[in-house]
Amino acid sequence: MTTNSRRTFLKSIGLTVGAASANGGIAIAQQYHNADREIATPTDWAMYRGGVGRTGASAQSGPSSQATTEWSMDLNGGMYATEPIIADGTLYLAVTTANSPSNNKGYIAAYDPASGNKKWQQSGFARPSTPALDGEGLYVATSTSSDDDNTGSFHALDPATGETKWSREEYHSGSPPVVAAGRVYTDGPGASALDAASGKTVWKQDNVTGIASFANGTLFYSSGVALNAADGSKQWSADTDTVRLHAVSDGQVYGVGKTDQGLNIQARSANKGAVQWTSDIADVQYTSHLTVANGRVFFRTGTYRSSKIMALDAATGDVAWTYESSDADFGSDVTVADGVLYAGGRTKPGRGAGEAIIVALDASSGERKWQHTLGSWEFKEYGPAVFTPVIANNKIFAATYPMGSTIDNYYTDHGNFHVIGDQKGSNGDGSGTTTTTTNGDNPTDGGEQTKTTSTSHQSTTATATTNQPSTTSTTTTNQPRSTTATNNTQPTTTPQTTSAHSTTRPTQTTTTSTSGQPGFEFLAALGGLAGVGSYLATKMHDSDD
């Protein structure tokens, strides 16, 4: 793969839209109780899965159906397992530039989210995870594979300049940290609380690992253990070592596990860890990280040959809807914002050529609202796919990666980043040149839509045939592409043309399958990220990420 092939993907970006502590006292307790509400403003996406609860929900709205790619850039690396952070008017990216059994490197960089201009870049890290931001510091964990001489570490950076405030070399799991009430919580080895200002260890709990979520003074580690955030004492642990806790919301912790027939989703009491409900998902091999919003639990699931998106009732576990597409494959966690679910993936399931896509679904019904296409590339073995889309500032921020590749360096050789907004021009202010042509000449879906609703595990089915008009949108936009810049300098930009592609809407088939039988869970696989073998081997015990 040549450098030109990476640039070709950027040049081919187009737009296709469908239809539309024990002695802490009362003050300390209150501080922790409120911390999950004080971390970020409503427009922020300040850490992995948006906030301390790891729910994957945004208080913002995304673009309308008339979405357009505002700017894109070559990452000179990959973001195949990290999310962008957007807060206080700055976009932060954690990028891996080398990933092999003997070499793991990366960088953290800050950008203007409107223009893509680089503010600073800090290199020399091992492979970084998604950072966490609290306004005073940007906290990032790094990790390496077992036979790399360069071990991972933990760092606090100045968000404004990228300068290192403190580092801890002994913390190297690479799990995305969570920051709350002046402390940073991480793992590797063992669960730890670090003082956010100094980096000093406040407490440490051995034999607890994984990504932590936080609510009301309690940390919920993905390995199935709940700890008191003030002193690290154990609150409760799951009654099986196969559960993986993902997110906490409204007094319930949601997780994933393994059954003889597949996987199941479960809800536990955040106070005691008692199982509230379980919902079996048969004949699947993986799930994404669970997203909790609008009284629903959303996730991507499937086999290594196909994928689908499901929604469960967060109170009962009943299946609300399932979205499947015969001509697209999803490869990311899903994000919900203002009643819309956003999923990233690729057309043409399996290996081979295809176009990177973002699909917007109605979070209530599962019906597709629109689809945005980011184009293809010349590298035919593995087409580009969109990794987890993040919603902030009324825009979508997302990276692309070669989904399904089993060759480590492909993930760092072929990675781009994109910002999608409403169709106002490349600068998001009405400037720029954008021309959209819409007609009804292309074939319509003419598909049959089967929608199944479930109440108390009883199903009723209604079938309707819908003919939906197809929309062909052609967009030409002069966009900046950022190139590598030194710290605290602006990047060089070059004009870039984006041309549109046509797509056909997938047929949506919604079915219900849930046994309602209790069971324990295990996150069986990562799903779309089948490659990056050395990376996955170190992460499987932590979470689905």
Q: Where are the domains of the chain?
A: 3-539
**340 within 8 A of 20, measured Cβ to Cβ:** no
Count of C-beta atoms within a 10 Å radius of residue 442 = 12
For residue 136, count other CB atoms closer than 10 A to its CB.
14
Task: Give the model's pLDDT for residue 149.
Answer: 53
Q: What is the Cα–Cα distance from 74 to 57, expressed in whole angstroms? A: 27
pLDDT computed for residue 294 by the predictor: 96
Q: Report the pLDDT value the prediction gives residue 428, as an integer from 0 to 100.
A: 40
How far is 101 from 99, CA to CA, in rounded Å?
7
The tokens of 23 are what? 């002695």
Res 378: pLDDT: 63
Alpha carbon 230 to chain centroid, angstroms: 28
| Residue 268 burial class via C-beta count within 10 angstroms: exposed 0-12, middle 13-18, buried 19 and up | buried
What's the pLDDT at 382?
A: 73
Cα dihedral across residues 469, 474, 477, 479: positive or negative: positive
Query: What is the structure's pLDDT at 503?
Result: 26
Sign of the alpha-carbon torsion through 409, 48, 363, 320: positive
What is the value of pTM for the model shown? 0.76
The CA-based angle 261-544-418, given to 5 degrees, is 125
Select from 391, 400, 264, 395 the least CA-distant residue to 331.
400
Residue 335 CA from chain centroid, whole number: 7
Please list the ranges in the chain whose pLDDT falls under 70.
1-43, 146-151, 172, 349-353, 377-381, 424-545
CATH number of 3-539: 2.130.10.10
